[in-house]
Amino acid sequence: MTTHKTARVSIDAMLDDLRTLVEVESPSRDVDALTASAKAVAGVVESRLGGRADLVESAAGPHVHWSGGGDPRVLILGHHDTVFPLGTLARRPFRVDDGRATGPGVFDMLGGLVQALHGLASLDDLSGVEILVTADEEVGSHSSRALIEERARACGAVLVFEGAAEGGAVKTGRKGCGTFQVAIRGRASHAGLEPEAGVNALVEAAHQVLQIAALGRPEIGTTVTPTVASAGTLDNVVPAEATVVVDVRVESADEKERVESAFAALTPHLDGAEITVRGAVGRPPMPESASAELFAVAQQLLPGLEGAAVGGGSDGNFTAALGVPTLDGLGAVGGGAHADHEYLVIDAMAERAHLVAGLVNAIRRR
Are residues 345 and 208 part of one domain?
no
End-to-end CA separation in angstroms for the chain: 14
Are residues 42 and 124 part of one domain?
yes
The percent of residues above 70 in pLDDT, for the chain, comes to 98
Distance CA 263, CA 212 (A): 8
Residue 6: per-residue pLDDT: 45
Are residues 342 and 317 part of one domain?
yes
Distance CA 215, CA 35 (A): 41
CATH number at residue 338: 3.40.630.10
Q: Is residue 151 a contact partner of residue 255, using CB atoms and an 8 Å limit?
A: no
At residue 84, does pLDDT exceed 70? yes
Distance CA 112, CA 120 (A): 12
Residue 220: per-residue pLDDT: 96
Are residues 128 and 35 part of one domain?
yes
Are residues 304 and 164 part of one domain?
yes
pLDDT digits (tens, 9 = 90+) for 9-23: 999 999 999 999 999
C-alpha gyration radius of the chain: 23
Distance CA 297, CA 1 (A): 9
Distance CA 302, CA 307 (A): 12
Q: Is residue 73 a contact partner of residue 158, using CB atoms and an 8 Å limit?
A: no
Q: Do you find a cis peptide bond into 109, omega within 30 degrees of 0?
A: yes
Q: Is residue 83 a contact partner of residue 71, using CB atoms and an 8 Å limit?
A: no
Strand order in the sheet with 343-345: 95-97, 100-102, 343-345, 334-335
End residue of a domain, out of 224, 253, 283: 283
Alpha helices (runs of H) in the chain, residue ranges in sequence order: 11-22, 31-49, 88-91, 111-121, 145-155, 201-213, 253-264, 292-301, 316-321, 349-365
End residue of a domain, out of 283, 306, 324: 283
The answer as to whether 155 is a domain residue is yes
Tell me how many domains the chain contains.
Answer: 2
Q: Is residue 308 a contact partner of residue 171, using CB atoms and an 8 Å limit?
A: yes
Distance CA 331, CA 310 (A): 15
The answer as to whether 248 is a domain residue is yes
Are residues 197 and 154 part of one domain?
no
Are residues 165 and 312 part of one domain?
yes
Are residues 39 and 161 part of one domain?
yes
Which among 359, 334, 347 is positioned nearest to 14, based on CA atoms?
347
pLDDT band at 2 (very low <50, low <70, confident <90, very high): very low
The answer as to whether 4 is a domain residue is no
The answer as to whether 5 is a domain residue is no
Are residues 294 and 267 part of one domain?
no
The chain-wide mean pLDDT, for the chain, equals: 96
Query: What residues are labeled active site?
Result: 81, 137
The answer as to whether 6 is a domain residue is no
Residue 7: per-residue pLDDT: 54
Are residues 50 and 139 part of one domain?
yes
Residue 3: per-residue pLDDT: 40
pLDDT band at 8 (very low <50, low <70, confident <90, very high): confident
Whole domain around residue 145: which residue ranges? 11-174+286-365
CATH number at residue 192: 3.30.70.360
pLDDT digits (tens, 9 = 90+) for 252-287: 999 999 999 999 999 999 999 999 999 999 999 999
The answer as to whether 125 is a domain residue is yes
3-class SS of residue 151: helix
Calculate ∠ Cα 302-312-53, nearest 5°: 70
Are residues 138 and 263 part of one domain?
no
Which among 135, 110, 178, 107 is positioned nearest to 344, based on CA atoms?
107
Which among 144, 146, 165, 141 is positioned nearest to 322, based on CA atoms?
146
CB atoms within 10 A of CB 162: 28
Distance CA 308, CA 150 (A): 27
Are residues 198 and 158 part of one domain?
no
The answer as to whether 3 is a domain residue is no
At residue 204, does pLDDT exceed 70? yes
End residue of a domain, out of 264, 283, 302: 283
Residues 320-349, mean pLDDT to the nearest whole number: 97
Distance CA 105, CA 203 (A): 40
The predicted model scores a pTM of 0.91
Distance CA 211, CA 215 (A): 7
Distance CA 92, CA 340 (A): 8
pLDDT digits (tens, 9 = 90+) for 96-153: 999 999 999 999 999 999 999 999 999 999 999 999 999 999 999 999 999 999 999 9
The answer as to whether 62 is a domain residue is yes
* Chain CA centroid to CA 294, Å: 20
Beta bridge partners of 133: 64, 78
Residues 33-56, mean pLDDT to the nearest whole number: 98
Distance CA 252, CA 264 (A): 19
Q: Is residue 327 a contact partner of residue 158, using CB atoms and an 8 Å limit?
A: yes
Residues 225-242, mean pLDDT to the nearest whole number: 98
CB atoms within 10 A of CB 36: 16
3-class SS of residue 223: strand
